[in-house]
C-alpha cells in the first residue's frame, strides 16, 4: 500500500521515562524508544508515566536527564511530560496542587478508568468536574475497556461530558486482543476517536509507532479522519481548544456483523 505522509506526528501517550513505572526499564531502553519514534516520523512525544507509581518531581528530573541524553545523540524530538492519571475522586485536588501533571503543562489531562471491567456511573460527573475547573480530560485507550468492547455506544457519555477519546495504535492490528481490535475499528468508523497514541512501553512490545496505524485509519475511515487524529494531537500539546467529535450513534449501537469482523481483520 502506498504510504501517505503526515506533516507533524505527535504521540501524547508513551511510557518512555526510565525506571518510573512499567515502561522503559533504563536509560538505554528509553533512548532506543525515542529513536524508534523519530524513525517512525514522530516530532513531539509526551512521556506519561502511571501517576500512582511515581511523583511529579521524579517525572521532571527523569525527563530532563532523558532530554539531555537525547540531545547528545542529536535526536530531533521534542520531549514533553504529563502523567497517566486514574479517574479517582482525588484527581482534581491532585491537579490543583501540582501532584498530577497535565500534558506538557497544558490544560489537557490524560485519564484512565481505575477498573477496566466497569463503566462508572459517576464518569460524566467526574469529567464535567474537571472541565468546570478548567481542565480538559482525554480518556486513554478507550477501546481496551471491557464495557466499551461489549457496548461501544457507552463512549457517547464520555464525549457528551466533554472528554476526547484516545485509542492505542496497536489495537488496530489486534495486539491487544480481538475484542479491542473490533472496538477500535468500530470507534474509528463511527468517528468517535479524537487522538491516536502509542501507549508505548518498550522498544518491542507496544513500541512508539503511529504511522502504520494512521494508514489503517485512512483505510478504515478516510484520509481526512487520519488527518484529524494527527491534527488533534498537535492541538493538545499546543494547548488549543478542540471541537468535540460528532460520532454516528447508530453505527456505535449496531450489532457486530461477520462482514464487519472480516473487514477489521483485513483492515479495509
Where do the structural domains in the chain lie, given as residue ranges? 9-266
Q: At which residue does the C-alpha cell 450489532 appear?
A: 255
Q: What is the pLDDT of residue 43?
A: 98
Which three cell numbers mark 207? 513500541
CA distance 241 to 255: 34
Which three cell numbers mark 234? 498537535
Q: What is the pLDDT of residue 128?
A: 98
Q: What is the pLDDT of residue 2?
A: 44
Q: What is the value of pTM for the model shown?
A: 0.93
CA distance 24 to 151: 33
Domain 9-266 in this protein, CATH class: alpha beta
CA pseudo-torsion sign 173, 179, 185, 188: negative
The bridge status of strand 195-197 relative to strand 9-14 is: unpaired
Q: What is the pLDDT of residue 261?
A: 57
Report pLDDT digits (tens) over 218-254.
Answer: 999 999 999 999 999 999 999 999 999 999 999 999 9
Report pLDDT digits (tens) over 42-53.
Answer: 999 999 999 989
Residues facing residue 80 across a β-bridge: 46
Tally of CB atoms within 10 A around 102:
21
Report pLDDT digits (tens) over 55-85.
Answer: 999 999 999 999 999 999 999 999 999 999 9
Contact (Cβ atoms closer than 8 angstroms) between residue 195 and residue 140: no
Q: What is the pLDDT of residue 259?
A: 58
Q: Sheet with 136-139: list strands edge to edge.
A: 84-86, 108-112, 136-139, 164-168, 195-197
Give pLDDT tens digits along the chain (268 positions): 444 444 699 999 999 999 999 999 999 999 999 999 999 999 999 999 999 899 999 999 999 999 999 999 999 999 999 999 999 999 999 999 999 999 999 999 999 999 999 999 999 999 999 999 999 999 999 999 999 999 999 999 999 999 999 999 999 999 999 999 999 999 999 999 999 999 999 999 899 999 999 999 999 999 999 999 999 999 999 999 999 999 999 999 998 765 565 555 555 5
Amino acid at each position: 500500500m502506498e504510504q501517505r505522509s503526515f506533516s507533524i506526528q505527535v504521540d501524547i501517550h508513551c511510557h518512555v521515562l526510565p525506571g518510573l513505572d512499567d515502561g522503559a526499564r533504563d536509560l538505554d531502553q528509553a533512548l532506543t524508544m525515542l529513536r524508534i519514534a523519530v524513525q517512525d516520523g514522530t516530532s513531539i512525544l509526551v512521556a506519561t508515566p502511571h501517576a500512582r507509581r511515581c511523583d511529579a518531581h521524579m517525572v521532571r528530573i527523569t525527563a530532563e536527564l532523558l532530554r539531555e541524553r537525547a540531545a547528545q545523540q542529536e535526536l530531533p524530538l521534542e520531549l514533553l511530560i504529563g502523567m497517566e492519571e486514574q479517574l479517582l475522586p482525588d484527581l482534581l485536588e491532585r491537579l490543583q496542587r501540582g501532584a498530577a501533571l497535565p500534558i506538557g503543562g497544558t490544560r489537557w489531562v490524560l485519564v484512565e478508568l481505575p477498573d477496566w471491567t466497569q463503566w462508572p456511573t459517576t464518569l460524566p460527573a467526574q469529567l464535567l468536574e474537571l472541565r468546570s475547573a478548567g481542565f480538559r480530560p482525554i480518556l486513554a485507550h478507550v477501546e481496551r475497556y471491557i464495557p466499551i468492547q461489549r457496548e461501544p455506544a457507552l463512549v457517547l457519555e464520555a464525549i457528551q461530558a466533554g472528554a476526547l477519546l484516545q485509542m492505542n495504535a496497536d489495537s488496530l492490528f489486534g495486539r491487544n486482543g480481538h475484542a479491542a481490535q473490533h472496538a477500535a475499528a468500530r470507534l474509528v468508523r463511527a468517528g468517535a476517536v479524537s487522538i491516536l497514541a502509542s501507549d508505548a512501553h518498550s522498544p518491542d512490545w507496544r513500541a512508539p509507532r503511529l504511522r502504520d496505524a494512521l494508514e489503517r485509519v485512512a483505510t478504515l475511515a478516510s484520509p481526512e479522519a487520519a488527518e484529524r487524529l494527527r491534527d488533534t494531537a498537535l492541538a493538545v500539546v499546543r494547548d488549543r481548544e478542540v471541537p468535540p467529535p460528532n460520532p454516528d450513534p447508530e453505527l456505535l449501537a449496531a450489532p457486530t456483523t461477520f462482514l464487519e469482523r472480516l473487514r477489521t481483520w483485513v483492515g479495509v
